[in-house]
């Protein structure tokens, strides 16, 4: 009995606490009524105390939801619309790209040039795009089988041309099964221009395929065709990522061929090593006297020339000095007299030898009176006492010769 009473009291207490909590929550909850001022502010998007801020124009991205599909086509968001384009040689249809025929041309339009024409999200570009597209649709779509699309490739600055008009390079895309060609398409468009129904375009000229294919002119040479080929320049090659440019040197640009690859302003170039020169595509050694890059250093040649000239001058001087010395040696001074003249050899030899004593000129002899054939010291004369006695052995004696005297040994 007592347990049941306690249980009832506990349940009553819990109920009372829950009731108080519910009442407190209801009291703290308020609803703000909508007044007339609030309704008016909502309608005008302002409040009585708010300040109106100027709005800036923003470009809407019309390609955010992939309207051109997620395959090969590229979406280009314009000012108020979008357009879908494909790579060269393909036209867009039903969110995909299909191969077709390409007919490039350059047109002149009645439009003033503006830098905004190079901005696809500008009003000027969208106006140009719409007018050009409308012209070709009216000229080709109903008169030519297989016309699909016109793509603007390039807008030429009027300042780059002598004419004041605005020139635009376009490509007209057709299906593969079209029977039209560049000649028939040109004739149809020329008729449309003459009719004057669409005066926006006032000239049309067929262009080359290379002018719209856009090969890299620095590294390739474009081979003209409906689908051009960008051939690498000599010494360059393509990688698997290259299509219209060549970003590396070819395999023959190696040390074995005396070549090396270097990039100048982002363009690869195969050059000859130092002391080699390019001749008809091959690197050959520099000629004598030249060295350095492309054999442009001729300092060695200058040294060779100078050394040769100096050597020749020195050789001439040596020869001249030798000749002068020899001549001076054999030339006799006329003012100089020799006291000793060469004698003659004895009767048994023919060699000429100089005499030991000078030739004595006397008045004696066969032809002169008083000739003394013997040594004056040996003469028997009355004047002998006037001469001193000889106290030496005379080993030599004088003998007569046809041209004078000479001494000879007595033994």
10 Å CB burial of residue 50 (0-12, 13-18, 19+) is exposed
Q: How many helices (H) and strands (E) would you count in the chain?
A: 6, 18
Mean pLDDT of the chain: 76
- Whether 209 maps to a domain, the answer reads yes
Task: Provide CB contacts within 8 A for 22, sequence distance 6+.
Answer: none
- Whether 379 maps to a domain, the answer reads yes
- Whether 19 maps to a domain, the answer reads no
**CATH value at residue 178:** 3.30.70.960
Q: How far apart are the first and last CA of the chain?
A: 196
202 lies in the same domain as 225: no
pLDDT of residue 33: 35
248 lies in the same domain as 178: no
**Domains in the chain, number:** 3
138 lies in the same domain as 109: yes
pLDDT of residue 303: 81
Confirm if 168 and 211 have CB atoms less than 8 A apart.
no
> In which element (H, E) is residue 173 found?
strand 166-174
249 lies in the same domain as 285: yes
pLDDT of residue 347: 47
Complete DSSP assignment for 65-133: T-TT-SSS-EEEE-SS-EEEE-STTEEE-SSSEEE-EEEEEEEEES----GGGG-TTSHHHHHHHHHHH
Last residue of a domain, one of 279, 295, 311: 295
204 lies in the same domain as 95: yes
Per-position b or e across 6-31, b if 16+ CB within 10 A of its CB: eeeeeeeeeeeeeeeeeeeeeeeeee
Average pLDDT score over residue span 160-166:
64
Last residue of a domain, one of 249, 275, 295: 295
Confirm if 220 and 232 have CB atoms less than 8 A apart.
yes
Separation CA 397–CA 411 (nearest Å): 10
Separation CA 243–CA 101 (nearest Å): 20
Stronger pLDDT, 306 or 379, i.e. the higher one? 306
142 lies in the same domain as 101: yes
What's the pLDDT tens digit per position in 187-232?
A: 999 999 998 777 899 999 999 999 999 899 999 999 999 999 999 9
Q: What domain range includes position 161?
A: 74-213
pLDDT of residue 357: 53
159 lies in the same domain as 226: no
- Whether 400 maps to a domain, the answer reads yes
pLDDT of residue 10: 52
Separation CA 377–CA 392 (nearest Å): 12
What's the pLDDT tens digit per position in 80-101?
A: 999 999 999 999 999 899 999 9
Last residue of a domain, one of 295, 323, 343: 295
404 lies in the same domain as 357: yes
Separation CA 410–CA 395 (nearest Å): 6
Rounded percentage of the chain residues whose pLDDT exceeds 70: 64
The candidate with the shortest Cα–Cα distance to 142, out of 182, 188, 195, is 188
- Our CA dihedral for 354, 356, 360, 365, rounded to 10 degrees, sits at -90
102 lies in the same domain as 204: yes
Stronger pLDDT, 334 or 98, i.e. the higher one? 98
Separation CA 86–CA 98 (nearest Å): 8
112 lies in the same domain as 162: yes
89 lies in the same domain as 202: yes
- Whether 81 maps to a domain, the answer reads yes
pLDDT at 27 over 70: no
154 lies in the same domain as 86: yes
- Whether 408 maps to a domain, the answer reads yes
- Whether 286 maps to a domain, the answer reads yes
What's the pLDDT tens digit per position in 228-287?
A: 999 998 889 998 888 899 999 988 888 888 888 888 888 898 888 888 988 887 888 888
């Amino acid at each position: 009995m007592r347990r049941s009473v306690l249980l009832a009291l506990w349940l009553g207490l819990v109920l009372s606490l829950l009731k108080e909590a519910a009442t407190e929550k209801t009291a703290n909850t308020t609803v703000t009524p909508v007044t007339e001022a609030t309704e008016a502010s909502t309608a005008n998007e302002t409040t009585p105390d708010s300040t109106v801020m100027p709005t800036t124009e923003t470009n809407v991205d019309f390609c955010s939801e992939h309207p051109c599909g997620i395959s090969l086509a590229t979406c280009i968001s314009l000012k108020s619309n979008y357009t879908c384009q494909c790579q060269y040689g393909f036209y867009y249809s039903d969110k995909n790209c299909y191969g077709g025929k390409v007919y490039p041309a350059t047109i002149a339009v009645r439009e003033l040039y503006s830098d905004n024409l190079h901005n696809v999200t500008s009003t000027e570009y969208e106006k140009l795009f719409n007018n050009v597209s409308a012209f070709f649709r009216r000229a080709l779509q109903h008169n030519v089988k297989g016309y699909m699309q016109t793509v603007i490739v390039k807008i030429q600055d009027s300042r780059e041309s002598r004419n004041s008009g605005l020139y635009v390079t376009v490509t007209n895309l057709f299906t593969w099964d079209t029977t039209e060609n560049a000649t028939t398409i040109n004739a149809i468009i020329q008729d449309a221009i003459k009719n004057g129904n669409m005066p926006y375009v006032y000239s049309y000229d067929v262009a080359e395929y290379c002018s719209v294919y856009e090969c890299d002119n620095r590294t390739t040479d474009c081979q003209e065709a409906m689908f051009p080929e960008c051939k690498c320049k000599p010494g360059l090659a393509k990688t698997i990522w290259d299509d219209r440019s060549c970003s590396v040197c070819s395999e023959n640009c190696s040390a074995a061929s005396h070549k090396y690859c270097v990039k100048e302003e982002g363009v690869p170039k195969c050059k000859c090593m130092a002391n080699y020169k390019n001749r008809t595509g091959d690197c050959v050694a520099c000629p004598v006297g030249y060295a350095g890059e492309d054999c442009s250093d001729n300092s060695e040649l200058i040294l060779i020339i100078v050394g040769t000239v100096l050597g020749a001058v020195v050789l001439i001087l040596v020869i001249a000095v030798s000749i002068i010395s020899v001549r001076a040696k054999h030339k006799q001074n006329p003012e100089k007299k020799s006291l000793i003249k060469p004698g003659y050899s004895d009767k048994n030899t023919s060699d000429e030898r100089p005499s030991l004593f000078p030739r004595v000129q006397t008045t004696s002899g066969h032809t002169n009176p008083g000739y003394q054939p013997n040594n004056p010291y040996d003469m028997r004369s009355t004047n002998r006492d006037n001469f001193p006695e000889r106290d030496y052995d005379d080993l030599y004696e004088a003998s007569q010769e046809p041209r004078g005297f000479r001494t000879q040994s007595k033994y």
